[in-house]
Chains A and B, each alone.
Chain A
Amino acid sequence: MINEIIFMNGYGLYVWSAFIFTLLSFTSLYVVIKYQYIKEKNKFISKFGKLNSERAAFAISQRINKEILSNSSKI
């Protein structure tokens, strides 16, 4: 049974390489996209931290900014 799944009548190399290539592509794309997301989020948090209290109060009044900061702990 195990041998059948691995060797697949002599076509195992083709079948497994196609599936492995697909899964590696998925993983690479997810890692790259997630990395970009974390980088942008950290940049936002760092910029927000440098604002004075008046500007920070104005920035936090925007719903999306509040959402970005509220999600920052869940990275």
Chain B
Amino acid sequence: MFKQFEPGKIFSVTSKAPKYVLFLFIVVLSIGLVEGLIFSPKDYIQSDTVRIMYVHVPAAWISLGIFSVITFLSIIGYIFKFKNLFLISKSLAPSGFVFCIIALVTGSIWGRPTWGTWWAWDARITSMLILSLFYVMYLTAWRIYSESIQVFKITSIITIIGIINIPIIKYSVDWWNTLHQPASINILSKSSIHSSMLFPLLIMTAAFALFSLLIFLVKYNTELIKIKNKGLDRL
């Protein structure tokens, strides 16, 4: 089954894809920005600060999603000793980390006019900060360890410990009394967000997902070329 994912075959696709993804990303982002900054209504309590949601929420969602995918791929990769899954995980991490930082910084900017403070050691914010530290540990492990078996083991351990934090982030607003508001969008029950705000939010989420795909593709190609560079040294 894994022979279908042979690097040579994958590279022929991933090397051509970034230009199309970049074009699509620019188009979707432009629509999202116009919808989010101009056409969407302001909130009756938060006024125009609610527009920060269009960058803060998608960044947080994608950051959590990427870390979950990295963990899943690392576990599968470690069990089946499939190196390519580790390369995919490594290539996903930079965008996941940047999205986590964006969620923290934009949340802090949103907190100032809404709560009157830039930062609070609130359960949701603190658990999100912990996630960013797990991303830092994960990315640092790839830089420190040169031996592949060692780095696969260390990064798998980091992600397995880090994944415990994901449900904590998700349910922190329900489990503890926090400054952060509860989720407005629920997949299983009725969402409390109006469709006029949900539409730009989904567009921006799609744009952010395309951006992480773009970064993943370019980074994955770089990693494959790095391996091939080492191969040329051995010839």
- Where the two chains meet, the residues of A that have a C-beta atom closer than 8 Å to any C-beta of B are 5, 8-9, 11-12, 14-15, 17-19, 21-22, 25-26, 29-30, 33-34, 36-37, 40-41, 43-44, 47-48, 51, 55, 58-59, 62-65, 67-68, 71
Contact = CB atoms under 8 A, between A and B. Distances in A.
Given A17-B109, A25-B102, A67 B55 contact: no
A-B pairs, top 4 by smallest CB distance, nearest first, are A8-B48, A63-B8, A64-B8, A18-B106
Secondary structure dominating the interface of B: helix
Interface residues of B, number: 45
Contact of B225 (A33, A41, A58): A41
14 contacts: A15-B49, A17-B109, A18-B56, A19-B55, A21-B102, A22-B106, A30-B214, A37-B221, A40-B222, A47-B233, A55-B235, A62-B8, A63-B9, A67-B12
Contacts, number: 112
B51 interface: yes
Contacts of A64: 7-8, 11, 224, 228
Interface string B35-60: 00110001000011101100110010
B32 to A, nearest CB: 11
B188 interface: no
Contact of B218 (A17, A37, A68): A37
B81 interface: no
B15 interface: yes
Nearest to B106: A18
Contacts of A9: 42, 47-48
Given A62-B8, A63-B8, A14 B52 contact: yes
Contacts of A63: 8-9, 11-12
Contacts of A29: 94-95, 98, 215
A51 B215 contact: no
B112 interface: yes
Interface string B102-116: 100110011011000
B168 interface: no
Contacts of A65: 228
Nearest to A1: B38
A26 B211 contact: yes
Nearest to A5: B38
